[in-house]
Amino acid sequence: MRILTWNINSVRLRIGLLERLVAEQSPDIVCLQETKVDDGQFPREAVAAMGLPNQAIHGQKSYNGVAILSRLPLEDVRLLPRAERLDCRHLAARVAGIDLHCLYIPSGGDVPDPAVNDKFAHKLAFLDDLIDWLPTVGAVDQPMLMCGDFNIAPMEHDVWSHKQLLDVVSHTPVEVDRLARVQATLDWVDVSRHFVPAQEKLYSWWSYRAKDWSAADRGRRLDHIWVTPPLAPRLTHHAILRDVRGWSQASDHVPVVVDLA
């Protein structure tokens, strides 16, 4: 079974890129973030025509928005119990016996201080909610997969320069520590680092602001796939599709793919 996650940065603008991606990769399940569209406007039929007719969507106008698109039936579709906050950043469903969570963690703004930047405070609060919530909906011996744009590059070689990014939101110790506590909730296995050694540079995002993103290669690994321990022995393949960043009118994030036996 192949699962693919991608921050698509507008599903309407990049529906053609999604079609090409699905044709090339043949995923059984696609998790999207930043769909940026109300549920009523979501291109359901175009996605169904790609072979993904089972769809759970949770979107809003202009910002955020997540979706789970599947060849296989989706059961028990759920949202994180944070109804007091209106941003659409989480969606869960059970598929093929696996509890699947699609996540879009807040980016956090520019200043890494929750006292002066409410976006960073929101990011930390969202992580705290996950720390409280995940143990109540799952267990370490249960097959679960959580993926999406976490907006945090936790390890030294998940960024192009560890030293230069220590004060840059996405790689600051406070959010990295908080993400480690999320990871500890259910002993989550970091799939990309299961396959790629920690000493090797690995990115899933490159800024739009570089003259030549590939030559500069100042990337960050913001997009993740995590599994609980029962799924670790079933991991057979993983890829971060760097080439997609070079497609015409690309998203600034590229897809991450995993195969499970």
Partner DNA sequence: ATGGTTGATGGTCAA
User: Interface with DNA by CB under 7 A: which residues?
Assistant: 9-10, 12-13, 36, 61-64, 106-109, 119, 151, 208-209, 249
Min dist CB 207 to DNA, Å, is 7
Nearer to DNA, 71 or 122 (CB): 122
Pick from 87, 59, 179, 78: which is nearest to 138 by CA?
Answer: 78
Nearer to DNA, 36 or 71 (CB): 36
Total number of residues shown for the chain:
261
Min dist CB 200 to DNA, Å, is 25
Min dist CB 123 to DNA, Å, is 9
- Are 77 and 102 within 8 A, CB to CB? no
The three-class DSSP label of residue 149 is: strand
Amino acid at position 34, single letter = E
- Are 236 and 1 within 8 A, CB to CB? no
Min dist CB 15 to DNA, Å, is 10
Nearer to DNA, 214 or 249 (CB): 249
Nearer to DNA, 96 or 168 (CB): 168
Nearer to DNA, 35 or 192 (CB): 35
Please state, in angstroms and rounded to a whole number, the distance separating the CA atoms of residues 74 and 255: 21
Q: β-strands 2-7, 29-33: how paired?
A: parallel
Tokens of 102: 């699609």
Min dist CB 249 to DNA, Å, is 5
Residue ranges of E strands in 96-174: 98-104, 144-149
